[in-house]
Chains A and B, each alone.
Chain A
Amino acid sequence: MHIPDGFVNIPVAAATYVASGGSLAYAVRRTNEELGEKQVPLMGVMGAFIFAAQMLNFPVAGGTSGHLIGGALATILLGPWAGMLIMTSVLVVQALIFQDGGLVALGANVFNMGVVACLVGHYLFTWLKRLLGEGTQGTVIGGFVAAWASVVAAAIACALELAISGTSALAVALPAMTIVHVLIGVGEGLITVAVLVFLTATRRDLLQFRLS
């Protein structure tokens, strides 16, 4: 759901740049306090994997495709603050080098797919994990729901920005964006859970930061 330039007006672009900038400044401070030696290469690997996986559009209903966002996955593995920085790395490279997502709209894209996706993923996963326990069940169900909801929440944020910008009426954009991303979010959930199960089986030690 990379917003191209022209979809958000200048006030919305400016407001989301400020909101994203403030969130990232806080994320930098928290990462500075929390990130351990071993998680440094994991940040690189996560960014690399999310960039690559975002290229893999999968078909959903009716001539529409979707791809992983990865905000929930990065957050579950590294926490929301490092997760935001990873998502921002991906989105900045996509905008500057691949012309995917506009430069004016970059603040909005970081806000939706970085800030909103990571925070929603973080709070839902933490809550469900507490509810369901530390076992695989909590990881699988919590991971799926957190990933799915992170996509739907990002889509809602996107619809609000389109509506405030006057690009599309809220009554049109909100249901349309929500419905299609309810479907795309299922793919996000499945990929996220697959990676979590793979890491649980192979490198449990990398998960200890948040999963045990």
Chain B
Amino acid sequence: MKLKWWIIGLLIALAVTLISPLASPWPDGLERVAEDKGFIEHAQDAPYEIIPDYVFPGISNEAVATILAGIVGTLIVFGLAYGLGAMLKRREAT
């Protein structure tokens, strides 16, 4: 069976999450500036946490927890953006 192109696209996105444990742990541009310029302490903690720091809670292996967080997020965003598109798409004239 030939896979639909968008399933291949989704699989590529999921494959990207497999290398997410290799991501640089260094602070990003805004965090770096906030640290260097002394306003990082203004940052407030979130009022609740579900999957903080892209590490799925309750899993001791951090690489596995990171990949799992990535897979969960990738699938949720896929569903959300796909759903928005399906809802908003142009009505074809019949």
Chain B 14-62 interface residues, beta-carbon cutoff 8 Å to A: 14, 16-17, 19-20, 22-30, 32-34, 36-37, 39, 42-44, 46-47, 49-54
Q: Is the CB of B50 within 8 A of A98?
A: yes
Q: Is A116 an interface residue (CB 8 A)?
A: no
Are A102 and B46 neighbours in the complex by a CB distance under 8 Å? yes
Contact B20 A56 (CB under 8 A): yes
Q: Is the CB of A47 within 8 A of B81?
A: yes
> Is A10's beta carbon under 8 Å from chain B?
no
**Residue in A6, A7, A47, A203 whose Cβ sees the most chain B Cβ within 10 Å:** A47
Q: Given A35-B88, A44-B78, A44-B82, A52–B44 Cβ distance below 8 Å?
A: no
Cβ of A135 < 8 Å from any Cβ of B? no
Q: How far is the CA of A172 from the CA of B70 in the complex (A)?
A: 35
Q: How far, in whole Å, are A87 and B85 apart by their CA atoms in the complex?
A: 13
Task: Write out, one digit per residue, whether chain A residues 7-50 have a CB within 8 A of any chain B CB (1) or not (0).
Answer: 10000000000000000000010011111110111111111111
A45-B13, A181-B29 are known; give 10 further A-B pairs, CB within 8 A: A31-B88, A47-B81, A48-B77, A49-B13, A51-B73, A51-B74, A52-B70, A89-B80, A89-B84, A97-B50
If the complex has contacts A51-B74, A52-B74, are A184 and B29 also in contact, measured as CB distance less than 8 A? yes
Write the nearest CB–CB distance from A210 to chain B, whole angstroms: 16
Interface string of B64-94 (1 = CB under 8 A from A): 0010011011111111111011101110100
Which range holds the interface residue count of chain B? 35 or more
Chain B residues within CB distance 8 Å of chain A: 4-6, 9-10, 12-14, 16-17, 19-20, 22-30, 32-34, 36-37, 39, 42-44, 46-47, 49-54, 66, 69-70, 72-82, 84-86, 88-90, 92
Given contacts A48-B75, A52-B14, contact A65 B44 (CB under 8 A): no
Distance A48 CA – B10 CA, assembled complex (angstroms): 7
11 contacts between A and B (CB under 8 A): A5-B43, A31-B84, A40-B85, A44-B6, A44-B82, A45-B6, A58-B23, A65-B24, A65-B26, A103-B46, A162-B39
Are B29 and A66 in touch, CB under 8 angstroms?
Answer: yes
